Structure 1
């Protein structure tokens, strides 16, 4: 059946009054449902025409339908006003369940059909053609079977969404990493020491075309994982623009731009980094691993946040960083502290990998369930 044979568009123009209060309607991509924004006066809405609509309507964003901005409205949605960016369709008769239609258009095949009906080359300019959408053909089983499939998908995808929300997140692991460092270091620490008492700042500047020494790679902020002290990439040297800092194995790179990201890395190679990173070179008072861990710990991060929270583009001044205090591990305790730190890092990183794998599996369940439903396997 053609979409236009079983669904008809139904939305009613609204004369927006500048001083009256309205609640705007929106949608999330990837089938994640509708949005009801906080009430605002009419002058705060977009200048596009606005419409009222009914509940239990198939709704598509005409600019994001190709990436799954497809849903079904409920009674609370129907209290909102929607801009002309949203298309609302209702059944022409009893032979179609709009939930079934929604789920079909969230399958890989359905999204492919919407993609073909969305004109434009750039993602932000891909607008769904009403005429092309209504020409899409879909196989419709008996209404009883449509409802059975839709009911089953409601149940399964609700459980899948709950699992995604309730499972520990990457942020949880990051918090565990930073707070755990305080405990590991605190077990062996004897007081605190200023950063500038255990390392010095190095500004070994390299300009474009100058001798790079032993450096072969560039490691910027984008190549450091937040909170984990881990390098996740690099790029070969050769196309540098602007000055860079040279670093050596054993140096600690500290990202001072947006320091809340807590990007700290203990270098194991020669390289160049951006000038948005401080290069700290340990002076022998403590092993570099313990210094880097102290800089990544929650105590230090909280102090950094307190010093930069009111800045529009947070930057941590070098003087503030060097004056901060980290746990001091005396020589007699350093070997055991290093062993505990290595074991802790290993466990948390293994947990992070497990969580990432679980998230990937849970995310893959949704398209697998939808494809099963529309291929007769559900």
Structure 2
């Protein structure tokens, strides 16, 4: 990596040309005009440009070159929600001609001084994002930066050859990350299919009664291998009463919310105390072995098997398995196709899809003996173990990639 005497920070406007985009409604077509595609904030994602939904605008021919994007331009959002602040990527020229809206900055690097990929890498780093957060104009949940603030952004500028080496190293790690992510996605699909096969339900067929009420059904389920059909409320307890997350010991305990659970996998993405989340409304107590299900938008399949003492959002139902059902089997059941279809069926009666307590209690499931449940749990766990191993590999790659940037910035000298 560069030594201390070589790494110097420069203002961005000394390394690149910075321009705002075309203001919608701000230009009246006159004379010879043309309709062209343009990129807006929704198209500029963190690390890539999405062109799945590109809109068009009429613009005078004389202004096309002013707002036209070139391959290698770095596009950055001026703000909006906090997560959109300074979000950006390098444009690859897949659409030409293509313009950019005024809420998207265009940075055209002077190639003899600064590589576009290196700039994008730095802006996405903690230090780069930290700069945007420090200088942004902020209101409630919104933030924005100006062209002058972007122009004054200090950019580390090692020799171009060193920039290229860093970009190539990070790109190589990114390619490995994509391979691992593809393996994780494939494994998750295999796990989903295995759960459906192992539970031996007939894809969750639920026939509605003559009045169209999905609860008035015969719960058509294959009774493979003679498994009895049991009502959920008979094998697991639903929560009774709520606790105040502002008082101890609850304020210091982990608060699980729907946003903390990855859809369709059961993976808990975030663990934070009630105090850290500023919780104030009533919550349910949870303990190891409980299976927590998000009752809002059940199609997302947000189900988690708890391994800690804590509390959960009132938008979730914690189920406590009884003696006839294993926690892991209940978890697989609620994550499976049969329950998912049932939940989607009974949740569509209101504006926001929601499973109420009565619906959840009335769900029927095939329940094998404990020994057979254990077999199901072990097979599903084997998929989960492989997934956790890949997650660790992905985390290592992410840490290594960040380490490359950190090592570069550790030799910072001046602005």
The TM tier, using the shorter chain, reads: 0.5 to 0.7
Aligned to 1:300: 339
Please tell me whether residue 313 in structure 1 is matched to residue 352 in structure 2.
Answer: yes
Q: Is the 8 A contact 1:245 1:274 kept in 2?
A: yes
Deviations 1:35-63 (A, max 9, x none): 446343549xxxxxx96224145434262
Aligned to 1:106: 121
Aligned to 1:96: 112
Q: Is the 8 A contact 1:157 1:366 kept in 2?
A: yes
Aligned to 2:373: 337
In structure 2, the CA distance between the partners of 1:252 and 1:17, relative to structure 1 (3 Å rule), is same
Q: 1:55 aligns with which of 70, 73, 95?
A: 70
Q: 1:165 aligns with which of 155, 159, 178?
A: 178
Q: 2:315 aligns with which of 265, 276, 301?
A: 276
Question: What is the number of equivalent residue pairs in this alignment?
Answer: 355
Aligned to 1:23: 37
Q: 2:329 aligns with which of 286, 290, 304?
A: 290
In structure 2, the CA distance between the partners of 1:104 and 1:63, relative to structure 1 (3 Å rule), is same
Looking at structure 1, the residues matched to 137 and 324 of structure 2 have their Cα atoms a distance apart, in angstroms, of 58
In structure 2, the CA distance between the partners of 1:318 and 1:21, relative to structure 1 (3 Å rule), is farther
Structure 1 residue 354, shift from structure 2 partner: 1.5
RMSD (Å), alpha carbons: 5.2
Give the 3-state SS of the residue equivalent to 2:299 in structure 1.
helix
Deviations 1:262-289 (A, max 9, x none): 3445678887654433455656554555
Aligned to 1:327: 366
Q: 2:49 aligns with which of 9, 34, 44?
A: 34
Structure 1 residue 160, shift from structure 2 partner: 3.6
Looking at structure 1, the residues matched to 379 and 405 of structure 2 have their Cα atoms a distance apart, in angstroms, of 40
Aligned to 1:119: 135
- Structure 1 stretch 124-133 or stretch 314-323: which is displaced more? 124-133
Aligned to 1:355: 390
In structure 2, the CA distance between the partners of 1:269 and 1:368, relative to structure 1 (3 Å rule), is closer
Looking at structure 1, the residues matched to 255 and 48 of structure 2 have their Cα atoms a distance apart, in angstroms, of 39
Aligned to 2:229: 193
Give the 3-state SS of the residue equivalent to 1:106 in structure 2.
helix
Looking at structure 2, the residues matched to 219 and 138 of structure 1 have their Cα atoms a distance apart, in angstroms, of 40
Looking at structure 2, the residues matched to 200 and 80 of structure 1 have their Cα atoms a distance apart, in angstroms, of 57
Looking at structure 1, the residues matched to 300 and 232 of structure 2 have their Cα atoms a distance apart, in angstroms, of 22
Mark the runs of 5 or more structure 1 residues left unpaired by the alignment. Answer: 44-49
Mark the runs of 5 or more structure 2 residues left unpaired by the alignment. Answer: 1-9, 59-64, 202-223
Looking at structure 1, the residues matched to 129 and 272 of structure 2 have their Cα atoms a distance apart, in angstroms, of 38
In structure 2, the CA distance between the partners of 1:73 and 1:325, relative to structure 1 (3 Å rule), is same
Q: Is the 8 A contact 1:199 1:280 kept in 2?
A: no
Structure 1 residue 193, shift from structure 2 partner: 1.1
Looking at structure 2, the residues matched to 234 and 10 of structure 1 have their Cα atoms a distance apart, in angstroms, of 41
Structure 1 residue 329, shift from structure 2 partner: 0.6
Deviations 1:350-377 (A, max 9, x none): 222222222223334444456778999x
Q: Is the 8 A contact 2:16 2:108 kept in 1?
A: yes
In structure 2, the CA distance between the partners of 1:21 and 1:164, relative to structure 1 (3 Å rule), is farther
In structure 2, the CA distance between the partners of 1:16 and 1:375, relative to structure 1 (3 Å rule), is farther
Q: How does 1:151-230 map to 2 (within 5 A)?
A: 156-168=169-181, 171-186=185-200, 189-191=225-227, 193-196=229-232, 198-199=234-235, 202=238, 204-206=240-242, 220-222=256-258
Aligned to 1:84: 102
Q: Given the two structures, how large is their TM-score scaled by the length of structure 2?
A: 0.62
Aligned to 1:256: 295
Aligned to 1:46: none
Looking at structure 2, the residues matched to 349 and 261 of structure 1 have their Cα atoms a distance apart, in angstroms, of 19
Give the 3-state SS of the residue equivalent to 1:363 in structure 2.
helix
Structure 1 residue 101, shift from structure 2 partner: 4.8
Deviations 1:268-312 (A, max 9, x none): 888765443345565655455534432332332243334446865
Q: Given the two structures, how large is their TM-score scaled by the length of structure 1?
A: 0.66
In structure 2, the CA distance between the partners of 1:78 and 1:310, relative to structure 1 (3 Å rule), is farther
In structure 2, the CA distance between the partners of 1:171 and 1:16, relative to structure 1 (3 Å rule), is farther
Aligned to 1:47: none
